């Protein structure tokens, strides 16, 4: 919301600098994003009068002007032909900067000195609509009221500051200069001056005899008001209106349109002027558009409407897209004689939907989208009529149309000073409560300790005592609160639960393994399915789809974290790195309440000096650290994994905890990788649930251990896990540990076979084992190994 | 015999004095005291000595042996010391050299957003808060309606919210978790709720996926002054103990009064600089007194209980704390960036 300070001053006396005013508004809840000094666009341009014009001795097309600058005379050379002696013109002096980008220097032109430049309208950023005469090709001849010697900014109303205020969504009424003036009055203690709403209506023309309103959609148009103005005199607006409109970024057009815009900014009410002669059947009909009904709007484009769009129509056809834009053939033109001024309230969501559907925005639609309160239709209409009356733009017809079918009930709030203190934790004296509410024009009555507030219609955001508390504290001052630390609350235990602690432990463990934690978007492109080479019937392709994504690349909720991980690895390639992420995957499997399945998942990735086994070690160590027992690994196949280098992580032989392996080159290539990378994806929720804090203390055996190595030969396909479990079976509980320390295939062993070197440690808790016992159990182990096809080499 | 003894002593003294290493010393020991050494050889000659001289001669020989042993021991001690010194000298390393670069996977790092989240969480858990997480795909009821956000509120627009269908959406705020907690009705409540949230924005200060931490306290007689105290404590712990905060009125449908909380600029301490755009303040979070309508919506007696709530952006907090200029850098996943947070 742009608020020129001069406009504010019409309603409230101000002695603050723009910065001081801005600070006060910020503390009252109006964030001032910028303070613009309008005078900075044009610098060092003064108003002067041409005393005389003489021919340039050395140039046919140039003339020498002698200028009266008030306190001095100047000589300026110009090539313009539209100037004559006595004209009052803008003079850019030495060092002037113009909005067109020109910087002016004094100097000599063809041997004659020129102490500046006479400016044209365009050079000052003005069009004909901004200033009469500005559109001509030549020098801008100022009107006779311009004061010689004055800075041009004074004359153009640019000696002003404009506050750019961001308004919170609840304060719909504050999108107006007058509402900001009310706030300024509250924060400065200066009285708010009333808006001039006075006009004299003609007795001979009644609006009701010219036109009537039939509102078929009171929900979409809760209030529709109209007034008649006869015999309008279409012209340019007076300077004050033009200057103020320009200050808020609106181009002046003509006096009638300008008045509607002026009221939009001053009071916050959009108005629209219909040419009375175009209202066929003398009836304004508020209705939904018919399917495919067309209307050509003021922007010259034809829009195809739907039943969702509200129309302001005459008996035959639509005359305006309600709240968005008027129709081309029904608005004010040069030939317009009488007008009907519309001042309505349209439902903000409907205006927003229509504006969006038609891709058509206007100051009016933006204003309606923010919400217009019920009081401003009347205030806005009367203010426009008062301005038309004041400037003599037309004759005001008698009476006002007002279709207001469902008037909202008056809101009454009762409270006491203690109630306010209970919310704020600071006591505001009764006298201050009354004073603040009075400034905000919120009517309040006091009876003993009880206050009664009748919420004014322009404050639709106020519902209850909490809202009153906010109104009070924002003016009273938050800095007057003494901070307390949950003064009345008891002590609570709080803290992280065990799963949250385990989460921290896992992340720290992975960091210790050299992994960096990454962060990728939850929404992905469906293209990743193909990059992961997922088969057409893969359940991972069945994702939750976002109906309004930012683009196809962010259109589905991911069902796997692997793609994001491989992408991140590719991004860092060829740098050696380990990465991890804990995030959710989403599946369209819905619970009783209707929530889809969100599963916290851990993904680990690695690139560089990694092998399948070194990568597996991360998972093995993780399970060890979390004391998860019963982990086993099974060969696994996944579309994007190397067929021979992928494993499923099994828990207790039944639950699948996840999988890991080497990404197949075919898939890696799709991500732009030409390196071997490893990825593990693990169900984090099972991991957290099964993690144990501590497994229980075990006293270590004090008797010596015996180590034995065996070299075995077996089929290549025999998994290591079976060799290890057979060894444990044969060990009679005395095998402290067993490990495979070498696997060999090649010339020394027959084809299809492998040599496996295995080391046992025997140890008893009860006694020192003898050599004989070691031999006995070694033989037992060999027997078990023979059963699975492993023999001594 | 006596002559031989004398010669041996002289020989031994001469040999030991010339010994250069422990190995030579061992040779000397063998030469004099070994099984076929000179002392042993003399002992063998003892049988030819007349009987009456045997004790004296035997004792003498023994004394000689002891004195040679002592000589050898002294020499050994000296040589050990020298050799140890030389060994250490030989093992001397260039301590300024580093082999860290040669390690495939040196220490990794948590994501800066996790660090910030942990730090914030730790501050509040220390104040008796529990940590609660909620679903990221949420019903519009929990994300909007139950938070007192009217049906025609612009934040519900498809330009501000990602929708799955009419009812389900990607939560736009962790406040949705508030409602789940309130609905359970286990009072008093003191929770923080960190998590991912989503909105269709993508620029230097907005990411379509971002993280928030929501805080909620519901108890008897909780006031705006408590909110100020709580957030002041937080700001002091999170930034520095001389940090100040400032409340500015704002608007959130689920709190009333609502405030925007500013922080005295950590870069300049509030004296104005480029970071705080010369205002001395940085916007930190939104907060307020829980709107009684929100409490009533979840069946909590708003006459008896009051609450305060706050919500902050984790990205924003990390940008302020670490001085990160562009939010998109946090999603680069470039280890050169992540390395800084070890």
Q: Which of A500, A513, A610 sits opposite B108 (nearest CB)?
A: A513
Q: DSSP string spanning A680-744?
A: EEEEHHHHHHH--S-----PPP-SPPEEEEEEEEEETTS-HHHHHHHHHHHTTT-EEEEEEEEEE
Q: How confident is the model at residue A135 (pLDDT cuts 50, 70, 90)?
A: confident
Smallest Cβ–Cβ distance between A483 and the set B106, B225, B250 belongs to B225
Give how far A436 is from chain B: nearest CA, Å: 15
First to last CA, chain A: 89
DSSP A148: T
Say what the pLDDT of residue A340 is.
Answer: 96
Minimal Cβ distance to B106: which of A514, A544, A557: A514
When pLDDT is averaged across residues B81-96 and rounded to a whole number, the result is 90
Q: Flag if A469 and B335 touch (Cβ within 8 Å).
A: no
Q: The tokens of A775 are what? A: 């031999």
Angle at A555 between CA A551 and CA A558, to 5 degrees: 145
Contact: A423, B257; criterion CB under 8 Å: yes
Residue B57's pLDDT band (cuts 50, 70, 90): confident
**CB A572 to CB B105 under 8 A?**
no
User: How near does any CA of chain B get to the CA of A574, in Å?
Assistant: 12
Percent of chain A with pLDDT over 90: 88
Interchain CB distance below 8 Å, B118 and A520: no
| DSSP codes joined into one string, B90-102 | HT---TT---GGG
Nearest CA in chain A to B131: A496
The CATH number of A412-476, from 3.40.50.720, 3.20.20.70, 2.60.40.10, 3.30.56.10, is 3.30.56.10
Mean pLDDT of chain B: 91
SS3 category, B145: helix
Residue B288 falls in which region: left (phi positive, over 0), alpha (psi -120 to 50) or beta: left
Mutation target vs B (from A483, A601, A614; most B CBs, 10 A cutoff): A483
What residue segments make up the domains of chain A, in order of their start?
Answer: 2-39+160-188, 42-155, 201-403, 412-476, 498-690, 706-792
C-alpha closest to that of A263 among A386, A430, A424, A399 = A386
Reference A161, options A259, A14, A380, A44; nearest CA is A14
For A169, A188, A781, the CA distances from A22, given in Å and listed in that order, are: 19, 12, 87
* Share above pLDDT 70 across residues of chain B, in percent, rounded to a whole number: 100
Binned at pLDDT 50, 70 and 90, residue B203 comes out as: confident
Q: Do the strands A597-607 and A677-683 form a parallel or antiparallel pair, or are they unpaired?
A: antiparallel
Whole-number Cα distances in Å, B73 to A462, A515, B5, B25, B76? 102, 57, 20, 9, 5
State the smallest CA–CA distance between residue B94 and chain A in angstroms: 26
What percent of chain A lies above the pLDDT cut of 70? 100
Burial of B28: CB neighbours in 10 Å, binned 0-12, 13-18, 19+: buried
The class that CATH gives domain A706-792 is alpha beta
Look at residue B233 and tell me whether its pLDDT is greater than 80: yes
Best interface-test mutation with A: which of B131, B161, B257 has the largest number of A CBs within 10 A?
B257
Q: Which residue of B has its CA nearest to A481?
A: B225
Q: In what order do the strands lie in the sheet with B245-252?
A: B130-131, B189-198, B209-220, B305-313, B281-290, B255-264, B245-252
DSSP string over A51-65: EEEEE-TT-TT-EEE
**Chain B residues whose beta carbon lies within 8 Å of the beta carbon of residue A455:** none
**pLDDT at residue B323 in the model:** 86
Is the pLDDT at B173 greater than 90? The verdict is yes
Contact B188 A521 (CB under 8 A): no
Mean per-residue pLDDT, A580-594 = 97
Nearest CA in chain A to B117: A504
pLDDT at A695 over 80: no
CA distance, residue B18 to nearest chain A CA (Å)? 47
Half-sphere exposure of A755 (CA within 13 A, CB side): 14
Residues of A in contact with B208 (CB under 8 A): 521, 523, 550, 554
pLDDT tens across A288-311, in order?
Answer: 999 999 999 999 999 999 999 999
Interface test with chain B among A516, A520, A551, A588, by most B beta carbons within 10 Å: A516
Compute the count of residue pairs across chains A and B with CB atoms less than 8 Å apart. Answer: 267
Class in CATH terms, A42-155: mainly beta
Residue A144 φ then ψ, to 5°: -65, -15
Query: How close, in Å, is residue A497 to chain B by CA atoms?
Result: 8
Q: Residue B36: pLDDT above 90?
A: no
- Mutation to test the A interface, candidates B100, B101, B104, B105, most A Cβ within 10 Å: B105
Question: Least CB-CB distance to B291: which of A466, A504, A508?
Answer: A466
Which residues on A lie below 8 Å from B128 (Cβ)?
491-494
Which of A706, A525, A712, A508 has its CA nearest to residue A626?
A508
Residue A491 has pLDDT above 90, yes or no: no
State the Cα–Cα distance between residues B19 and B24, nearest whole angstrom: 6
- CB burial of B71-98 (b: ≥16 within 10 Å; e: otherwise) equals bbeebbeebeeeeeeeeeeeeeeeeeee
Long-range CB contacts (within 8 A, 24+) of A726-729: A726/A781, A726/A784, A726/A785, A726/A787, A726/A788, A726/A790, A727/A758, A727/A760, A727/A781, A727/A784, A727/A785, A729/A784
Nearest CA in chain A to B124: A495
Confidence class of residue B17 from pLDDT cuts 50, 70 and 90? confident
Planar angle of CA A384, A385, A387, nearest 5 degrees: 65
Cβ A478–B247 below 8 Å, yes or no?
yes
B306/A496 CB distance under 8 A = no
State the pLDDT confidence band at B47, using cuts at 50, 70 and 90.
Answer: confident
| b/e A407-420 (16+ beta carbons within 10 angstroms → b) | eeeebebebbbebb
Which top CATH class is A201-403?
alpha beta
Choice among A119-128, A420-429, A564-573 with the minimum mean pLDDT: A119-128
C-beta atoms of A494 and B249 within 8 A: no
Q: Do B165 and A547 lie within an 8 Å CB cutoff?
A: yes
Report helix, strand and coil shares of chain B as percent, to nearest 5. Answer: 45, 20, 35
Residue A92 phi, psi (nearest 5): -80, 120
What's the 3-state SS for A736-766? EEEEEEEEECCCCCCCCEEEEEEEEEECCCC
pLDDT of residue B38: 86
Contacts 24+ apart (CB under 8 A), A494-499: A494/B124, A494/B125, A494/B126, A494/B127, A494/B128, A494/B129, A494/B130, A494/B190, A495/B125, A495/B130, A495/B131, A496/B121, A496/B125, A496/B131, A497/B130, A497/B131, A498/A693, A499/A688, A499/A689
Classified by CATH at the fold level, domain A498-690 comes out as BirA Bifunctional Protein; domain 2 (3.30.930)
How many angstroms separate the CA atoms of A157 and A123, rounded?
A: 17
Q: Quick one: tokens of B18? A: 């010339």
Residue A666 is predicted with a pLDDT of: 95
For B114, which of A490, A492, A517 is closest by C-beta distance? A517
Q: Residue A488 and residue B185: Cα distance in Å, rounded?
A: 19
- Would you call A549 and B162 a contact, using CB atoms and an 8 Å cutoff? yes
Same CATH topology for A2-39+160-188 and A201-403? no
A chain contacts of residue B139, beta-carbon cutoff 8 Å:
594-595
What class, spelled out in words, does domain A2-39+160-188 have in CATH?
alpha beta
> CB–CB of A481 and B225 under 8 A?
yes
Q: Which of A339, A689, A584 is nearest to B134 (CA)?
A: A584
Of B129, B165, B257, the CB nearest to A469: B257
Are the beta carbons of A36 and A22 closer than 8 angstroms?
Answer: no
Write out pLDDT tens, residues A337-352: 999 999 999 999 899 9
Q: Which residue of B has its CA nearest to A586?
A: B137
Contact B137 A586 (CB under 8 A): yes
Domain B112-341, second-level architecture: 2-Layer Sandwich (3.30)
Average pLDDT, whole number, for chain A? 94
Joined tokens for residue A472: 């009070």
Chain A residues with CB under 8 Å of B223 CB are 422-425, 484, 487
């Amino acid at each position: 919301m742009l608020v020129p300070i001069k406009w504010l001053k019409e309603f409230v006396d101000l002695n603050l600098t723009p910065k001081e005013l801005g600070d006060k508004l910020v503390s009252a809840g109006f964030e001032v994003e910028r303070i613009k000094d309008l005078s900075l666009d044009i610098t060092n341009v003064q108003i002067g009068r041409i005393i005389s014009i003489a021919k340039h001795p050395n140039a046919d097309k140039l003339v020498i002007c002698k200028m009266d600058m008030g306190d001095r005379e100047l000589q300026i050379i110009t090539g313009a032909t539209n100037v004559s002696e006595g004209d009052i013109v803008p003079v850019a002096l030495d060092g002037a900067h113009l909005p067109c980008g020109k910087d002016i220097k004094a100097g000599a032109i063809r041997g004659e000195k020129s102490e500046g430049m006479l400016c044209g309208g365009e050079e000052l950023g003005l069009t004909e609509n901004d200033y009469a005469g500005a559109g001509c090709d030549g020098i801008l001849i100022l009107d006779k009221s311009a004061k010689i010697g004055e800075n041009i900014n004074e004359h153009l109303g640019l000696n002003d500051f404009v506050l750019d205020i961001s308004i919170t969504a609840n304060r719909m009424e504050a999108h107006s200069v007058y509402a900001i003036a009310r706030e300024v009055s509250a924060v400065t203690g200066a009285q708010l001056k009333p808006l001039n709403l006075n006009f004299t209506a003609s007795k001979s023309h009644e609006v009701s005899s010219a036109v009537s309103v039939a509102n078929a959609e009171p929900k979409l148009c809760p209030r529709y008001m109209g007034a008649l103005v006869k015999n309008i005199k279409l012209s340019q607006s007076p300077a004050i209106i033009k200057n103020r409109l320009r200050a808020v970024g609106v181009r002046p057009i003509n006096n009638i349109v300008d008045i509607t815009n002026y009221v939009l900014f001053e009071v916050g009410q959009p108005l629209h002027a219909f040419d009375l002669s175009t209202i066929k059947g003398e009836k304004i009909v508020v209705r939904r558009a018919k399917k495919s009904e067309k209307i050509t709007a003021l922007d010259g484009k034809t829009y195809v409407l739907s039943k969702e769009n509200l129309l302001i129509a005459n008996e035959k056809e639509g005359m305006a897209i309600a709240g968005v834009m008027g129709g081309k053939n029904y608005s004010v033109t040069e030939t317009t004689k009488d007008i009907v001024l519309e001042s309505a309230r349209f439902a903000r969501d409907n205006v927003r939907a229509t504006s969006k559907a038609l891709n058509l925005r206007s100051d009016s639609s933006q204003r309606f989208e923010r919400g217009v309160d019920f009081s401003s239709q009347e205030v806005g209409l009367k203010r426009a009529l008062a301005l038309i009356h004041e400037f003599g733009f037309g004759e005001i017809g008698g009476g006002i149309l007002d279709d207001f079918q469902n008037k909202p009930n008056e809101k009454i709030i009762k409270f006491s000073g203690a109630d306010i203190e209970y919310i704020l934790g600071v006591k505001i004296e009764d006298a201050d409560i009354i004073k603040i509410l009075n400034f905000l024009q919120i009517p309040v009555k006091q009876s003993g300790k009880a206050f009664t507030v009748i919420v004014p219609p322009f404050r639709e955001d106020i519902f209850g005592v909490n809202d009153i508390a906010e109104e009070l504290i924002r003016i009273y001052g938050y800095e007057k609160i003494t901070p307390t630390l949950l003064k009345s609350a008891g002590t609570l235990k709080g803290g992280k639960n065990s799963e949250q602690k385990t989460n921290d432990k896992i992340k720290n463990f992975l960091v210790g393994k050299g992994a960096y934690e990454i962060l990728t978007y939850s929404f992905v492109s469906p293209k990743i399915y193909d990059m992961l080479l997922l088969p057409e019937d893969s359940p991972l392709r069945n994702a939750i789809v976002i109906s309004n994504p930012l683009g196809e690349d962010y259109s589905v909720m991911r069902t796997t974290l692997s793609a994001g991980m491989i992408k991140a690895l590719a991004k860092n390639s060829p740098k050696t790195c380990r990465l991890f992420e804990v995030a959710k995957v989403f599946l369209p499997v819905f619970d009783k309440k209707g929530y889809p399945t969100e599963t916290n998942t851990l993904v680990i990735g690695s690139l560089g000096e990694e092998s399948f086994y070194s990568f597996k070690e991360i998972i093995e160590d993780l399970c060890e650290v979390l004391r998860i027992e019963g982990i086993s690994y099974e060969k696994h196949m996944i579309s994007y994994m190397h067929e021979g280098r992928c494993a499923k992580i099994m828990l207790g032989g039944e639950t699948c905890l996840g999988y890991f392996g080497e990404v197949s080159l075919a898939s890696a290539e799709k991500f732009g990788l030409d390196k071997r990378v490893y990825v593990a994806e693990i169900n984090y929720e099972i991991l957290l649930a099964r993690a144990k804090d501590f497994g229980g203390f075990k006293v270590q055996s004090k008797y010596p251990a015996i180590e034995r190595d065996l070299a075995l030969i077996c089929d290549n396909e025999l998994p290591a896990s079976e060799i290890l479990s057979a060894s444990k079976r044969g060990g009679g509980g005395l095998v402290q540990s067993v490990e495979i320390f070498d696997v060999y295939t090649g010339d020394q062993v027959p084809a299809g076979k492998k040599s496996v070197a295995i080391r046992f440690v025997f140890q008893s808790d009860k006694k020192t084992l003898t050599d004989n016992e070691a031999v006995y159990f070694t033989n037992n182990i060999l027997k078990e190994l023979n059963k699975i096809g492993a023999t001594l080499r | 015999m006596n002559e031989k003894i004398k010669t041996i002593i002289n020989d031994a003294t001469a040999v030991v004095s010339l010994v250069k290493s422990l190995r030579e010393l061992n040779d000397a020991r063998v030469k004099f005291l070994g099984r076929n050494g000179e002392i042993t050889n003399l002992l063998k000659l003892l049988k030819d000595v007349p009987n009456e001289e045997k004790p004296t001669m035997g004792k003498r020989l023994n004394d000689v042996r002891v004195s040679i042993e002592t000589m050898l021991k002294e020499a050994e001690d000296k040589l050990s010391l020298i050799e140890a010194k030389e060994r250490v000298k030989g093992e001397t390393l260039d301590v300024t050299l580093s082999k860290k670069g040669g390690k495939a996977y040196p220490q990794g790092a948590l994501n800066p957003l996790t660090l910030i989240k942990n730090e914030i969480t730790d501050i509040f858990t220390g104040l008796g808060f529990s940590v609660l997480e909620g679903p990221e795909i949420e019903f519009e009821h929990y994300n909007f309606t139950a938070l007192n956000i009217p049906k025609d509120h612009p934040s519900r627009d498809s330009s501000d919210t990602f929708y799955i269908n009419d009812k389900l959406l990607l939560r736009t705020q962790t406040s949705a978790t508030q409602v789940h907690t309130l609905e359970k009705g286990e009072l008093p409540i003191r929770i923080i709720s960190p998590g991912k949230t989503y909105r269709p924005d993508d620029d230097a200060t907005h990411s379509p996926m971002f993280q928030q931490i929501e805080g909620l306290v519901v108890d008897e007689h909780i006031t705006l002054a408590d909110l100020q105290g709580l957030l002041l404590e937080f700001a002091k712990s999170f930034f520095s103990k001389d940090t100040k905060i400032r409340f500015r009125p704002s608007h959130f449908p689920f709190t009333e009064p609502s405030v925007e909380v500013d922080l005295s600029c950590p870069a300049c301490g509030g004296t104005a600089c480029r970071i705080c755009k010369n205002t001395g303040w940085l916007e930190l979070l939104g907060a307020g007194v829980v709107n009684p309508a929100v409490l009533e919506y979840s069946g909590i007696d708003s006459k008896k209980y009051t609450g305060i709530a706050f919500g902050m952006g984790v990205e924003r907090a990390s940008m302020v704390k670490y001085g990160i200029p562009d939010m998109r850098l946090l999603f680069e996943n470039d280890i050169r960036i992540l390395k800084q947070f070890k």
